[in-house]
Amino acid sequence: MTGAAGGIGRACALKLDRDSPVRDVLVLADRDGPGLERLAAEMPGRQVLAVPTDVSNPDSVASLFSAIGALPDPLAALVHAAGILSVGSALEVDFQAWRRTLAVNADGVFLVATAAAQMMLQRPLKNRSMVLVGSNAAGVPRSTMPVYAASKAAAAAFMRSLGLDLAPRGIRCNTVCPGSTNTGMQQAFWGADAQSGRQTVLEGDASAFRVGIPLGRMAEPEDIADAVAFLLSEQARHITMQDLYVDGGATLRA
CA 214 to chain centre: 23
Helix locations, the chain, DSSP H: 7-19, 33-41, 58-69, 95-102, 108-122, 146-166, 184-187, 194-203, 221-232
Give the strands of the sheet with 171-178, arranged side by side: 77-80, 128-133, 171-178, 243-246
**CB atoms near residue 25 (< 10 Å):** 15
Q: Which of 65, 148, 158, 245 is catalytic?
A: 148
CA 34 to chain centre: 20
Of 70, 81, 95, which is closest to residue 5 (Cα–Cα)?
Answer: 81
CB 31 within 8 A of CB 2: no
148 among known catalytic residues: yes
**CB atoms near residue 26 (< 10 Å):** 20
**CB atoms near residue 13 (< 10 Å):** 29
**CB atoms near residue 159 (< 10 Å):** 25
Helix-, strand-, coil-residue percentages of the chain, each rounded to 5: 50, 15, 35
Please list the active-site residues. 148
